Amino acid sequence: MPIVRQDAAHVLTLTLDEPDRRNALSAALLGEFVAELSAAAQEGMRAVIVQASPAGGVWSAGHDIDELPQGDRDPLTWDNPLEEALRAVRDAPFPVIAAVDGSVWGGACDLVLTCDLVVAVRTASFAITPTRLGIPYNTGRRQPLRQCPALACGPRRCSSPPIPSPPNRPPCTGS
């Protein structure tokens, strides 16, 4: 199983657990991730935390590029497992929190930034690399992490008061 599930008091922790593959987002891993989010909703979970097992400093190597279609086909169609996972996060009836320790590459950036809250260690890094493969990013709903001094939050839920920004930065609006 590419994902380890831990339940504790209405909070589900999902750990990406394929360190030998640097937690690459394969169809199998993403399918299990979507199924776990659906099960969490059925079980009445109040929040889901997504983390990754240690993989040499890599949180996730991103989309498994061996599974991308070849030729002139659109690599991320509506029914692509990564797109399904992103929709599952956006549609979840609870906050989905990304706990990041390590580097996040490619499609994993999309997954992390789709979460409602991102908590990352200071040494975490984010690399948006798909353009080298000719894959566009949907950046319309993204706010650069550098503009959010303490956290990045998704468009749906930031119920606590905003964290004040340093005087030379715009405030984090979470949109």
Residue 131, pLDDT score = 61
CA distance 47 to 12: 6
Summarize pLDDT for 65-105 with one digit per residue, the tens.
Answer: 676 655 555 555 556 788 899 999 999 999 999 999 999 99
Residue 148 included in any domain: yes
Residue 173 included in any domain: no
Catalytic site includes residue 10? no
CA distance 145 to 152: 6
Residues 6+ apart with CB under 8 A from 151: 117, 118, 119, 163, 172
Residue 34 included in any domain: yes
Catalytic residue (choose from 63, 102, 106, 154): 63
Residue 159 included in any domain: no
Catalytic residue (choose from 62, 102, 106, 107): 107
Beta strand 3-8 pairing with 11-16: antiparallel
Residue 175 included in any domain: no
Q: What is the CA radius of gyration of the chain?
A: 16
Residue 168 included in any domain: no
Residue 98 included in any domain: yes
- The domain that contains 44 carries what CATH number? 3.90.226.10
Residue 80 sits at φ, ψ, to 5 deg, of -65, 140
Q: Is 11 helix (H, G, I), strand (E, B) or coil?
A: strand
* Angle (nearest 5°) at CA 163 between 159 and 168: 145
Q: Residue 63 is part of which domain span?
A: 3-153
Catalytic site includes residue 107? yes
Summarize pLDDT for 123-161 with one digit per residue, the tens.
Answer: 999 887 766 656 655 544 444 444 444 444 444 444 444
Q: Which residue has the tokens 């503009």?
A: 147
Structural domains of the chain, count = 1
Catalytic site includes residue 31? no
Burial of 41 (0-12, 13-18, 19+ CB in 10 A): middle
Contact 76, 83 (CB under 8 A): yes
Residue 58 included in any domain: yes
Specify the pTM: 0.74
